[in-house]
Amino acid sequence: MKQSNSLQNSEQENKSREEFPGRFKSVLKNEDYNSSFNRVETWLRNKSVQKKNTKNERNLVKMKNYFFSHKIRFAYAVIFLALVVAACNMPVTTHENVGNMITWSVDKNNSDAINKIEKLPWLKTADQVNKNGNTNNGNEGIVYTVIFQKSTEEEIASFRNDLENIGVSSLKIIPFNNDVKRPLYSAALNDFFSININAAGMSDEELQTEVQRQLKEEGVEMNIQFKTDASGKRNISIVNLKGNKSNTPKSYEINIDDKNGQEKIKLMQKNANPDLFKGKTDREIKDYVKEKNPELNLKDNDIKITHENGCVRVDVERKNVKK
């Protein structure tokens, strides 16, 4: 006959109790302190009466006494805090990449290369493009000088590849670095970006434009859409997130105050290992994403995997509805 769980547990407990040396148990347990009970009883009664009498002492007086009796320790605490504040405000110099300049030259007679260069799609997005004639050892050429602000290392590397494939000469990439002095706490927070929007009275389109404008100012390409359904709930969906253009990963926080409450969107960008999903099946990738984000309680349908030119793109889509 099967024993009940509680009976089994109790037997287990009894067995493990026996494992403890009995003589030590008696040593610890059998000391008789009962004779002291009367003294403790009297003491407790006195304490009880004392407590009743001192209960009405004002908290302010207590605090005052407390501060005055620990003057030196409080002084240390204040000095310590002052040092921490001073350290946080200490200006530190950080190097920031504010842009890149790419220069190259091409033979003036090489019309094929010039055509290819002119057709490069990224050339149109450059902040500044200069073309100058140049003569080198009797050869006439064109020197291109292109400036990009807020461009990532990856983008610059891909531009370089394009130009090398065309066969340009004297290709140079000059990064513009700027030394910025800012307090330590500000430097630490530099990688954190937060936008706050009061969406009360704003239409979906206005809100969408405002969010995207602020995001764009920070160099974030994010297609965020708002749609209000028949019941008045505003649905938020992030359609496309390409990340920021700076070289360092950033975290974003978007706080939207609506008439129905507040929505907080937190996004975190991390440097990913490009070989992370190499050779993995979609099933394995989905399992990995779910395992890494247990708090999101993701389902298979929430994770979309697309394969583009040998690259794996993982999108997590969750409809976050807030009334």
Residue 40 CB coordination number (10 Å): 10
Decide if residue 15 touches another protein (CB under 8 A).
no
Token pair 């583009």: residue: 308
Order of strands, sheet of 261-268, starting from the edge strand that comes earlier in the sequence: 192-198, 251-258, 261-268
In the three-class reduction of DSSP (H, G, I as helix; E, B as strand; rest coil), residue 231 is classed as coil
Decide if residue 81 touches another protein (CB under 8 A).
no
Cα gap 276→273, rounded to integer Å = 5
- Binding string, residues 40-69; x marks residues near another protein by CB under 8 A: xxxxxx-xx--xx-------------x---
Nearest to another protein of 49, 189 (CB atom):
49
- Pair of tokens at residue 281: 């099946």
Token pair 């926080």: residue: 253
Nearest to another protein of 47, 307 (CB atom):
47
**3, 7, 20, 217: which one binds another protein (CB under 8 A):** 20
In the three-class reduction of DSSP (H, G, I as helix; E, B as strand; rest coil), residue 277 is classed as coil
Nearest to another protein of 36, 115 (CB atom):
36
**2, 37, 59, 60: which one binds another protein (CB under 8 A):** 37
Contact status, residue 145 vs residue 101, Cβ threshold 8 Å: yes
Q: Which helix (H) or strand (E) holds 87?
A: helix 71-89
**4, 15, 32, 165: which one binds another protein (CB under 8 A):** 32
Q: How far is the CB of 12 from another protein (least distance, A)?
A: 9
Crossing angle (nearest 10°) for helices 153-166 and 111-118: 150
Token pair 């649905």: residue: 235
Nearest to another protein of 62, 119 (CB atom):
62
Nearest to another protein of 44, 82 (CB atom):
44
Decide if residue 291 touches another protein (CB under 8 A).
no
Q: How far is the CB of 73 from another protein (least distance, A)?
A: 4
Q: How far is the CB of 48 from another protein (least distance, A)?
A: 4
Nearest to another protein of 10, 161 (CB atom):
10
- Pair of tokens at residue 217: 């100012």
Stretch that binds another protein, among 9-17, 236-244, 251-259, 268-276 (CB under 8 A): 9-17
Nearest to another protein of 80, 176 (CB atom):
80
- Binding string, residues 147-186; x marks residues near another protein by CB under 8 A: ----------------------------------------
Q: Which residues, in sequence order, are CB contacts of 212 under 8 Å at separation 6+? A: 222, 223, 224
Q: How far is the CB of 32 from another protein (least distance, A)?
A: 7
Cα gap 100→78, rounded to integer Å = 47
Q: How far is the CB of 97 from another protein (least distance, A)?
A: 42
- At position 13, the amino acid (one-letter code) is E
Cα 305 → chain centroid:
22
Best CA proximity match to 220, nearest among 317, 292, 152, 160? 152
Q: How far is the CB of 89 from another protein (least distance, A)?
A: 23
Query: What is the β-pairing status of strands 128-136 and 192-198?
Result: unpaired
Longest dimension (CA), the chain: 114
Residues binding another protein (CB under 8 A)? 9-10, 13, 16-17, 19-21, 23-25, 27-34, 36-37, 39-45, 47-48, 51-52, 66, 70, 73-74, 77
